[in-house]
Amino acid sequence: MTFGFFGCSDSEYHIEVHSTYPDNVALANLTVTALPFDRDALRDSLAQASDTPRPQFPDLEAELASYTRPDVSGLTESFLPWQAIHDSVQHLADSLNIAGSDSSPAYARAYSHLRELYQRLARSAVDRDAAIREQVGDDRELASRAAAAADSLRAWEGVAFADFPELVDSIMAQQDRGVFTATTDSHGVAEFVLPPGRWWFVASWTDPENPFRVHHWNVGVVIRRFGSKSIPLFAGNGNDIWRY
């Protein structure tokens, strides 16, 4: 992969990619790749030519698209009793270990209290774990189903896209152009220096409120001497896909 940057010549142009999403918020630290071919179209053509159709999960994808992170603020309160008992057990156990074996009544009472604390700790752990399952149990189950679906998709892609690297090498050799990558700054701007021609700008942004959802861009433009040198990536020219 070639990483391009400054040093424009007469046959190269300075390009700025402006990334915003959502609500026109600038996306910092977004990796943007400039490709001299349409990667998504090539993958689509390979998928259509595959003997086996792409696995489909419409119901699961609908769940993933509508997912929202649970409110786990209540888990803090669930941990407090367990943590308090855990600290008491640890403190008492340490003190008994320091004292060593002892047949005195005081040691026996302390050891009995330690057993009682262990029992309370076990009961508190059950309550804590129940609270966790109540808050995130459904999320874990959904994540497990998403992981299984992702595994089947990657297995299918391993066969359907087997010729992808060879095709890319052939296209790159014909184009005699490289692949360029840049990262957006705090203003959401990534800068490139590119020769004229058809380019596709590819980037993916994971929704912080939904780890299963990714906004994907594959924006094709023609870079020429006369014309805009500013490429926008925004909600309207990308699409949401589920992350796998």
pTM value is 0.69
pLDDT tier at 124 (50, 70, 90 boundaries)?
Answer: low
Together in a domain, 79 and 153: yes
In a domain, 129, yes or no: yes
Q: Are 86 and 131 within one domain? A: yes
Cα–Cα distance, 150 to 17 (Å, whole number): 31
Among the candidates 158, 190, 211, a domain finishes at 158
Task: Judge if 144 and 86 occupy the same domain.
Answer: yes
Residue bearing the bigger pLDDT, 148 or 89: 148
Q: What is the pLDDT of residue 59?
A: 94
**pLDDT above 70 coverage of the chain, percent:** 68
pLDDT at site 2: 39
pLDDT at residue 212, rounded to an integer = 87
Residues 150 and 191 placed together within one structural domain of the fold:
no
The set of residues, in sequence order, having a beta carbon less than 8 Å from that of 58 and lying 6+ positions away, is none
Phi then psi dihedrals of residue 131, to 5 deg:
-65, -40
Express each pLDDT in 219-231 by its tens digit. Answer: 999 998 876 789 9
**156 within 8 A of 52, measured Cβ to Cβ:** yes
The stretch 96-123 carries a mean pLDDT of 62
Q: What is the mean pLDDT of residues 20-35?
A: 94
Tokens of 72: 């786990």
Q: Tell me the two tokens of residue 230.
A: 């500013």
Question: What whole-number distance in Å separates Cα of residue 64 and Cα of residue 128?
Answer: 27
Question: What does the alpha-carbon distance between residue 168 and residue 35 come to, in Å, rounded to a whole number?
Answer: 10
Question: Are 146 and 182 in a shared domain?
Answer: no
Q: Is residue 44 part of a domain?
A: no
188 occurs within a structural domain: yes
> Is 196 contained in some domain?
yes
Residue 61: inside a domain, yes or no?
no
The residue ranking higher by pLDDT, 8 or 43, is 43
Q: Given this model, what pLDDT does residue 144 score?
A: 86
Q: Where are the alpha helices (DSSP H) in the chain?
A: 39-49, 58-65, 75-99, 105-160, 164-175
Same domain? For 236 and 198 the reply is: yes
Residue 202: name the closest of 42, 46, 25, 38 by CA: 38
Residues 182 and 154 grouped into a single domain = no
**Beta carbons within 10 angstroms of residue 36's beta carbon:** 19
Model pLDDT, residue 140? 77
Say yes or no: 153 and 181 in one domain: no
Rounded to whole angstroms, the Cα distance separating 154 from 160 reads 10
Instruction: Report pLDDT digits (tens) over 68-102.
Output: 776 645 545 555 555 665 566 566 566 655 555 56
89 or 212, which is more confident: 212
> Is residue 102 situated within a structural domain?
yes
Is 213 domain-assigned?
yes
β-strand pairing of 13-19 with 230-233: parallel
What is the residue-averaged pLDDT of the chain?
Answer: 81
Would you place residue 127 in the very low, low, confident or very high pLDDT band (cuts 50, 70, 90)? low
Separation CA 32–CA 35 (nearest Å): 10
Instruction: Name the pLDDT band for 26 (thresholds 50, 70, 90).
Output: very high
Q: What's 200's domain CATH number?
A: 2.60.40.10
Q: Are residues 79 and 154 in the same domain?
A: yes
Q: Are residues 147 and 207 in the same domain?
A: no
Range of the domain at 192: 13-36+177-242
Count of the separate structural domains present in the chain: 2
Assess whether 196 and 149 both reside in one domain: no
pLDDT, average across residues 105-124? 64
Mean pLDDT in residue range 188-192: 97
Of 4 and 177, the structure prediction assigns the larger pLDDT to 177
| E strand or H helix at 242 | strand 238-242
Q: Is residue 150 part of a domain?
A: yes
Same domain, 129 and 192: no
